[in-house]
Every structure is written in C-alpha cells, then in structure tokens.
Structure 1
C-alpha cells in the first residue's frame, strides 16, 4: 500500500485531511466531512506575514516535476512565512477551497533531513487548500499561485505542526520546515471530464450529455426495461491512469432513477466535488469505476443487487435501478 503523506496525516489536534464520504449504510453520495479540530497556530494563520525569503537553494532536480535536492538552510530562518515562486506557471490560479494536485518534498531547515516527498510515491497528492485541512503554511502560501508553478516555502513552527511538532517524522516544535511544491493542477465544483467522446449507440441504454462546462450533464433514460446486470460505459474517455479497486477518487456525479428518470442526488447541485474510496461505496460504483481512466465521464447503471437492494434510501425506492453519470476528476 502506498505510504500516506505526512503533510496530510498529521497528529491529533492539528488540522488534518479528514476522510470524506458517507457512512457504509448510504454509499451513493458523498457528504462534507466534519470540521477538523483547530491546530496550534492556526488562529494566527490569517494574520501571517508573507515574505520572499530566505529559502534554501535547490541544487539538483531544478525542473518542474523533477524530484529536487535542497540545501540546508543558511543562518536563521524568517519568523514569517517565506514564499518564493521558483518557476512561474501559466495555468489557472489556485483558489481557496480548490482541491490542489501537487508533488512536493519537505525537509527540516537546520538539518536538510527530508521527512516526506510525493515524488518517490510516483503520484502527486490531492487535497483541499485554503480551508484548514492541511498545515497553515500551505493554506497561506499556495492559494493564488498558478498551475504549473514550482513554489518553495519556509514555514515557521506556528504555521506548520505547532509546538508539539510531528514525532512520527522527527519534527520538533521549534523546526522551520522547507517545502518545494510543484503545482500540477487544481479542481473545483466546475471541473469536468477531459477526453474523447465515445459513441453512445445502444438505444437500450441511457444517453448522457457530453458538455464539459461544469454544468450537470443530461441523462435521458429510455422507456425500456432496465438491464439486469451492471453497465459501465465511457461517455468521454480520459487519458489518465486506470483506477484500481483500492483507489480513492475525486468525482462529479449525478444520479437518476431508471423508473421515471427522477434525479435523486447530484454533486453539481452542491457545488462541490465528492471524494471517496472505491472500497467504501455500493458495489455498483466500486465495480463500475474500477478499471476506468482518470479524466473520463462514465455511464454507470446499477441494478438493485449492486445498489440498495430492497432497502429504501431517501428518495430512492426499494429495488430501484440507479443511473449515474460520473466524471472521474482525479485519483486521491
């Protein structure tokens, strides 16, 4: 199993990236997770002064996307948050509340000891930014930066792991942290699939709209008998990696009933992306999305035995066949 980021898996009492998604009794939709406890120093985060240095030199791996080697800090670090854009990107601006996709390396100022990096894991991390779900130095230093940028941060203790530090990573409460962050992408409630449209020529199946303007696609259910087996077809085929059953994903989705086409759930209406593990949703979702590519829009038709069976769930009657349009925005 891939080792989880220390940036996100911080000790109790700090701002953590809590798991999103519903309880196992109701898996078809994802709800916002509870508010995380306030971290030490987070009350000062809004008032943090941002300066442009000092930050240590990047001595190797100087290109965007390359694992960097960073020198030990020279002299005393700033007591303010030091933020330097090493490579300026040309993409969109990262906004508060976005899900940020980034590669990063973190080390300690005084010793240059690397305590975490995503490059060795072979995949960037994805997490909400600017909303108190990661350490305050990241929330302060990365909002407003452009996609494609490499940013170096020197984060004082109050904006990092606080007075208790992070014993798991051998970070003391007095340590200034140095991060190099490559901003790969960002996602929000307007994000959509990116790829090639696939013909929907089976007249016995629902037809899903192919708009990618951030609005919910249409789902036209035919006046025919519902399929008895799971259906999982590309509407738009992306170019990302194929999902594994053990993966967690970030998606946009809309769900309607086969019988009558009534909408019962939509991330578009909430204006926010849904986040969940494929192992923790109804079998129709986990089986239907496993093997599909990131960036895709997928039609998933879930028969009752792979959905809620004979249980009634809110606006979903018992023994319902469910129809979903799912945009796979990113792998978490």
Structure 2
C-alpha cells in the first residue's frame, strides 16, 4: 500500500491506523457506545462485529418531537408497540447533496436512544461531529446498511434490531440489553471519498523561492511546481487554501488527501489521488515534517509542506525516495476522525 511511505512507524501500525475510527474523544466511548462497532475497548477502538444482511423497511420509527430542523439536537419519543425485526430506515429530511456510497467517509451528528425507554445513550450534538467510513464494517451493521444511498444534508432515522446493533450481549455500560432495539437520528453533514478536496479560501503564494500548488477543488490532484534553486533547510508549512475548521492537534487522527514530489526533480513518489483512497492516520504516526507542519492548521485547508531530510527519511532511501531528499507535499485536511 503506497500510503505507508508517509508513516514514521513500522508497517504493522498501518493496519491499526487504517482500521481505527477513534479520535481524541476517548471520554465519549468510556461513558457510552458510539456507532463504531458492537462493543468498544477502553481506548475507543471497535471490536469486530458481525454484519448480517438486512431487509430494510420504512418503519415503524418513533416520532421526533423537538429539534426537528436539520442539525438541531432532536428529542425523540419512546417507541410504541413492537419494533420491527428488520432494519427500519426513514428519511426525515431529504438532503440535496451527493449520495453516500460504501467506502465513503461520512461526517454526521447523531443521537442514539433505546426504543422501549427513550433513554439517550450517546449523542454527538454539542461536541465535534463524528466521522467514519461507511459500508466497510467500521460501524455497526445498522449504520453500514442503512446509511448507504442517503444524501448529504439529510436527516435519517434508524430503528435497529439487536442483530444489527450491539448484538445479543448488548452494551451493559450504556444500559443496552441484548434484546433492545436502538434508535438513531443521524444528520449527514458531509461525505468524503477519493475525489474530495479541501474547501478553504485561496491564499497568495508570492514567494518565488517556494513551490507553487494548484488551488483546484475538483478532486483532481493539484499541480506542484518546484522552483529551481536550493531547497529550504527548515520546514515550510504554508496554506494554499485556508479552511475555517478547528485547528489540528498533535493527538488528532486526520482524514487526508495528499500528493508528494521530490524537490530535485519534481517527480511524484506518492499520492492518495492515484490509489483513490483517502489517508486516515493518527498524526503522531506520520513523519515529523507532517507532525510539525500540520499541527495548528485548520481543518478544511490545503497545506504545502517542504520537508527537509531530517524531518522525513534522512540518510535512508525509502520507496523510490533517494537518501537525503527534500520532499514537497500538498495535503488537504478533510476532517478529524
């Protein structure tokens, strides 16, 4: 997998990072379950869950009695009667954005409660939105199967039977029994895939001694033009497009679109655009140039990094990168996971 070339860690950590949907919200998973699997370890990493194929029906789902607007925290009534043993999916507000496909990352706000008691066991409203990949077993099966095909800017209500939720063991810490149907209201804020780009405002690139990076936002790889002359000996981390999201923290797991070229030749050595797969890694596991250059930058931004050898791979060659190479990266910070 080409993405390992930006990792400072051993390849085994790549598997951990690629399968990890957790972030710095560890306190959330300690108190209640998120949609990230049938159960969670104290670190917030989901354990594998079975994904039986679901028949999808339109109801019943409980009434939403308050917070009825998109991205308003909803109040949901207790379920009445017997819930369906199938997956009930109702599009409460039909969005006008692109459709979600399996393999996309979705960014949502959600509220989850128990059908029979209306007890809320988890919500992202009032904290950072939740982002994870859909349709690949990283979230509970009810989400994996119920959210595919929905549109961005939609509100979706799900009534999920135990087999498609937290299983026959339930989740004791959240008060979910193995027989409980659970209800989610999900507001789809955004979706990301291999054609996604940052959405920030262009920033002037006026230093002729530094590389110039394209400002296109059509999902195609931006051009990187490296100037003639000596490379900087210190890290350069400049906005190309400046977003309006929160500042990246050193502890964050980031969803990135990126491209890297050699300073000496301008030759591309790595790109998420070529694989069609976004990079989703903890910042702390990436090369030092990325760690230092992305920390403090705003989500939604495109950043140009010039990374000297001591903050990349030093005197060691790596995957087509010669020893002692200065590297130039274009990175789109799409989301924090």
Please indicate, yes or no, whether the TM-score normalized by the shorter chain is above 0.5.
Answer: yes
User: Which residue in 1 is equivalent to 2:55?
Assistant: 49
In 2, are the aligned partners of 1:103 and 1:182 still within 8 Å (CA)?
yes
What displacement does 1:270 show?
0.5
- The superposition leaves residues 18-66 of structure 1 with CA deviations (integer Å, 9 ceiling, x where unpaired) of 7xxxxxxxxxxxxxxxxx84x23x1x32xx2211111111122221111
Q: 1:312 aligns with which of 317, 333, 337?
A: 317
Query: In 2 relative to 1, CA 10–305 (structure 1 residues): closer, same or farther, beyond 3 Å?
Result: farther
Give the equivalent residue in structure 2 for 1:157: 162
Residues 1:190 and 2:218 are matched in the alignment: no
Q: Provide the secondary structure at the position in 2 that maps to 1:269.
A: helix
69, 79, 99: which one pairs with 1:73?
79
> Structure 2 length normalisation: TM-score?
0.86
Spell out the pairing of 1:103-142 with structure 2 (5 A cutoff).
103-120=109-126, 122-142=127-147
**1:228-250 deviation line (CA, Å, top 9, x unaligned):** 11100111112222212222211
Please list the CA deviations of residues 257-295 of structure 1 after superposition, one character each: whole Å capped at 9, or x if unmatched. Answer: 112122111000000111112222112101111121111
5+ long unaligned stretches in structure 2: 1-23
* Aligned equivalents of 1:259, 1:269: Cα separation in 2: 22
Partners of 2:168 and 2:58 lie apart in 1 by 24
Q: Secondary structure at the residue paired with 1:138?
A: helix
Q: Which residue of structure 1 aligns with residue 240 of structure 2? A: 235
- 1:1-332 aligned within 5 A: 2=25, 3-5=27-29, 6-8=34-36, 10-11=38-39, 37=48, 39-40=49-50, 42=51, 44-45=52-53, 48-120=54-126, 122-332=127-337
Q: Secondary structure at the match of 2:284?
A: helix
Preserved CA contact (<8 Å) 2:109 2:188:
yes
Call closer, same or farther: CA 1:312–1:168 in 2, change over 3 Å: farther
TM-score w.r.t. the length of structure 1 is: 0.88
Corresponding residue of 1:33: none
Aligned-CA RMSD value = 1.8
Q: CA separation in 2, counterparts of 1:12 and 1:193?
A: 31
On the 8 A contact 1:242/1:294 being kept in 2, the answer is: yes
State the SS of the aligned residue for 1:162. Answer: coil
List per-residue Cα deviations over 1:278-321 (Å, max 9, x = no partner).
22211210111112111111100111121122222221222211
SS at match of 2:144: helix
What do the CA deviations read for 1:56-88 (whole angstroms, capped 9, x no partner)?
111222211111121111111011111111111
Cα gap change, 1:283/1:4 in structure 2, threshold over 3 Å: closer, same or farther? farther
SS in 2 for 1:131: coil
Deviates most, 145-154 or 158-167:
158-167
TM-fit CA distance, 1:12: 6.8
